[in-house]
Amino acid sequence: MAEPGRKTLRSWRRLERSYALVHGRLEEALKSQGLPPLLWLRALEEFARCGEDGLRPFELQDALGLEQPAVSRLLEKMVGAGLLNRTECQDDRRGWRVAATPLGAETRERMAVAYTDALSAHFLAHLGEKQARALDEILGDLLESAGPADG
């Protein structure tokens, strides 16, 4: 392994700091509008993506890359908040099928608006179109190469 150069090492520090900065601002924006945290948006988007019949918890776990107990508790809260409903799963009585309620769909839309606005203000506004494309490409390659099994 060649000695990594200074700029090369620095790029990771900057990625860390950029992530922390922007992520913090996004969460802040949602909270300030009385909306749930980002994770809930990710979940609601998964439910929007799938059909009427909803998802099994383990499918959501897979899609979001969470630990199983995290999903269990996330769903518990989202059901409690009226955004999702659980129905017993007919073909596998160990599990459940979970789907978004109308309130869940509406919340997803409100969160998406707040999210896009905040992202525009705190990320995209500081990035040229060209830089955004370059980032997209570089990180796309990275994810593909490093991806789940470290390529």
Q: Is 16 in the site for a copy of itself (CB under 8 A)?
A: yes
Nearest by Cα to 30 from 98, 104, 107: 107
Q: Is 31 in the site for a copy of itself (CB under 8 A)?
A: no
Residue 139 binding result from DNA, a copy of itself, none, given CB thresholds of 5 to 8 Å by partner type:
a copy of itself
Region of 47-55, 72-80, 87-95, 125-133 interacting with a copy of itself (CB under 8 A): 125-133
Residues 6+ apart with CB under 8 A from 60: 43, 46, 66, 71, 75, 98
Q: How far is the CB of 7 from DNA (least distance, A)?
A: 28
Q: Is 77 in the site for a copy of itself (CB under 8 A)?
A: no
**How many Å separate Cα 65 from the centre of its chain?**
9
Binding site for DNA (CB under 7 A): 37, 39, 56-58, 66-77, 89, 92-96
What is the sign, positive or negative, of the torsion defined by CA atoms of 80, 85, 87, 91?
negative
100 DSSP β-pair partners: 84
Q: Is 151 in the site for a copy of itself (CB under 8 A)?
A: yes
Q: Is 113 in the site for a copy of itself (CB under 8 A)?
A: no
Residue 95 binding result from a copy of itself, DNA, none, given CB thresholds of 5 to 8 Å by partner type:
DNA
Which CB sits closer to a copy of itself, 90 or 145?
A: 145
Chain residues binding a copy of itself by CB under 8 A are 1, 4-5, 7-12, 14-23, 25, 65, 116-117, 119-127, 129, 131-136, 138-143, 145-147, 150-151
